[in-house]
Every structure is written in structure tokens, then in C-alpha cells.
């Protein structure tokens, strides 16, 4: 297992300044989440103190209880208190869930003229579920993989809205660039993965989660890396190849198929079907979603017709 702090320092030095221009205004995370995460670092903190912090935020409390009582959590008896939920899930899983929930609310509030939030959220969820399945194959941390999958692009709604003119240049000239990262580096000398990691560092997020987000667009390099290829960072990086409405990668499915050829357990049809089933269980009311499964099947149909 890599030393996450050392890796984060190699990617993002301590006290490094944000790459984002001063004109970009960042949201404020819920105080209860910040207080909870800091309190978890206290070895003397007990579940009563921690649950009281969560209970001070009605929204976080409701989301936590909803999650722990969901059909996928395996809980037999209904959980009715924050303290029960905390004990049931454990401190680390609760922290990752509350982080994901808060960031999703933040993304939802950062309405973008360029990104349809529902489509964006659907893709994030599929990527998170895909990362979770890959983490199982790798015997890596599935909670970390899911959270990293959900948060890998959390900054995009905000910066595409506040830097709309610049990002329109990418969408209007999409064929001139292989990836969104390539465009951002040329246009800004930074990219959204690096910028998001900076933001997460200032918010004192865990180093392993910062590494997941920083490296999420280095899929093939991370997958082939001897130290990282068996970790949740690799699972998140591979999940970034699921196509999205912004078309961040031009040949993402081809890269997944290349991996499938060299990794027998990496069966894309099975993985896509599993992600689709899990997605439909979590997002029951979603309509007109162009799923990863459908994108993969369409691609394979075209490939077979061309051969």
C-alpha cells in the first residue's frame, strides 16, 4: 500500500497555492462536516460527540439516515438515530459518505450553463459504481474508490460556469483536442484534476482521496504503475474512461477494451451490466439516461459491423 501522504506531497506540496485564478469563487462546505472530520482525528473522540456534530446539521443527518436505511446497506432493523447510523457504518465509511453527500449538494448548487447537472450526476454515479467494482477486482478499498469516483469531476460545474467563455472554446472546437485535460493545460496551464486536488487540500480532505482525484485522468499510466495499479486510485482512474456528455476523452471505450484484452477478470460486458443494475437500484426515478451499458453495447455493435 502506498504512503498516501508522501504521494500527495509529491503531487501537491504542502502549503502550495491554488492554481485557480482569483476570479473563481469557491463554495463553503457545511461547518458540521468540517467539524466532524476534524473531530475524527481526535483519538479520544467518542461516538456520542461525533454523532452530536452530525445531528447539528439537519441535511447531513437526513442524508445519513436515508443512506444507512437504504435497501443496499444490509440493515435489518430501521436505524432511527445518527448515533446508531454512525455505529452501524463506522467512522471512516460515515466520513466518506458525508463528504460525498456534501460535495454533491455543492455541485448541484453550482449550476452550470455548459453542464446539465442531472446528466453529470448520472455519469458520476456510474463512474463511482464502476470504480467500486474495479476495486473489488483489485482487492482495494471499495469505499474510497466509490467516493473518488463520485468526486473526480466535482469542480467542473463550478469552473465551467465561472469560466464559461473559455470552456465554450473546447466544446465548439472539440475535435481539435484529444482530451479536456489537454485543452485546459494549453488554455490555463492547469487542469481541473489538479485544481480540484488543490481545493481538497485546502479543505483538509484525506490524502488518499486527494490522490484519487489528482490522478483520475491518468488512467493507463496509473493502471500500469507497479505501486498504484492495485489500489483504489487505479479504480478511479479507470472509471474516468466511462463516456460523459462533455466528451472529456475521445477514445475512452477503446482504452477500456485494451485493458480487457490483458486482464481476464476485467469483463466489460459483465461490469457494465453490474453497474447498470446497481445504478437503477440507487437512482430509481432517473429517466432518459444514456447508460454506460448502452454506450458499450452500441460501440461493440458498430465495431462488429465494421469488421
Backbone Cα Rg of the chain? 19
C-beta of residue 197 within 8 angstroms of C-beta of residue 213: yes
**Quick one: which of 210, 251, 253 has its CA closest to 232?**
210
Span 48-65, average pLDDT: 91
Distances (CA, A) of 16 to 8, 10, 197, 198, 216: 12, 11, 11, 8, 20
- Ranges of each domain in the chain: 27-103, 110-307
Distance of alpha carbon 289 from alpha carbon 271, whole angstroms: 18
Distances (CA, A) of 203 to 12, 37, 69, 167, 248: 14, 10, 29, 25, 26
Residues 170-198 pLDDT 10s? 999 999 999 999 999 999 999 999 999 99
- Does the pLDDT of residue 4 top 80, yes or no? yes
Residues 107-154 pLDDT 10s? 877 778 899 888 898 999 999 999 999 999 999 999 999 999 999 999
Looking at residue 233, what is its pLDDT? 97
pLDDT band, residue 73 (cuts 50/70/90): low
C-beta of residue 73 within 8 angstroms of C-beta of residue 67: yes
Looking at residue 247, what is its pLDDT? 93
Locate all alpha helices (DSSP H) within 173-214, ordered by sequence: 180-188, 192-202, 207-214
Span 213-220, average pLDDT: 95
Count the Cβ atoms, other than its own, within 10 Å of residue 144.
25
User: Domain 110-307 has what CATH class?
Assistant: mainly alpha
pLDDT band, residue 72 (cuts 50/70/90): low
Mean predicted lDDT score pLDDT of the chain: 90
pTM of the model: 0.88
Residues 78-118 pLDDT 10s? 888 999 999 988 988 888 888 888 888 878 777 788 998 88
Looking at residue 74, what is its pLDDT? 59
Count the Cβ atoms, other than its own, within 10 Å of residue 18.
16
Distance of alpha carbon 47 from alpha carbon 64, whole angstroms: 15
Amino acid at each position: 500500500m502506498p504512503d498516501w501522504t508522501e504521494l500527495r506531497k509529491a503531487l501537491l506540496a504542502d502549503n502550495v497555492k491554488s492554481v485557480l485564478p482569483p476570479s473563481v469563487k469557491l463554495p463553503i462546505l457545511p461547518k458540521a462536516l468540517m467539524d466532524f472530520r476534524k473531530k475524527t482525528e481526535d483519538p479520544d473522540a467518542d461516538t456520542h460527540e461525533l454523532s452530536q456534530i452530525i445531528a447539528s446539521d439537519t441535511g447531513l443527518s437526513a442524508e445519513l439516515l436515508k443512506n444507512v436505511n437504504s435497501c443496499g446497506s444490509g440493515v435489518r432493523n430501521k436505524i432511527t438515530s445518527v448515533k446508531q447510523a454512525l455505529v452501524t457504518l463506522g467512522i471512516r465509511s460515515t466520513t466518506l459518505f458525508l463528504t460525498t453527500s456534501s460535495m454533491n449538494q455543492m455541485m448541484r448548487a453550482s449550476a452550470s450553463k455548459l453542464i446539465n447537472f442531472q446528466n453529470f450526476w448520472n455519469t458520476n454515479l456510474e463512474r463511482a459504481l464502476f470504480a467500486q467494482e474495479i476495486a473489488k477486482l483489485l482487492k482495494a478499498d471499495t469505499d474510497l474508490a466509490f467516493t473518488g469516483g463520485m468526486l473526480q469531476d466535482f469542480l467542473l460545474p463550478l469552473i465551467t460556469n465561472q469560466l464559461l467563455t473559455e470552456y465554450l472554446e473546447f466544446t465548439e472546437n472539440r475535435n481539435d483536442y484529444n482530451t479536456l485535460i489537454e485543452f485546459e493545460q494549453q488554455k490555463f496551464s492547469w487542469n481541473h484534476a489538479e485544481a480540484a486536488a488543490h481545493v481538497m487540500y485546502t479543505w483538509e480532505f484525506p490524502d488518499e482521496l486527494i490522490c484519487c482525484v489528482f490522478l483520475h485522468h491518468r488512467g493507463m499510466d496509473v493502471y500500469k504503475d507497479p505501486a498504484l495499479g492495485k489500489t483504489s486510485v487505479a479504480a478511479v482512474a479507470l472509471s474516468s474512461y466511462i463516456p460523459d456528455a462533455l466528451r472529456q476523452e475521445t477514445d475512452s471505450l477503446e482504452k477500456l477494451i485494451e485493458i480487457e484484452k490483458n486482464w481476464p477478470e476485467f469483463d466489460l460486458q459483465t461490469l457494465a451490466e453490474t453497474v447498470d443494475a446497481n445504478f437503477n437500484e440507487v437512482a430509481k426515478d432517473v429517466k432518459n439516461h444514456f447508460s454506460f451499458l448502452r454506450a458499450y453495447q452500441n460501440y461493440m455493435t458498430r465495431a462488429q459491423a465494421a469488421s
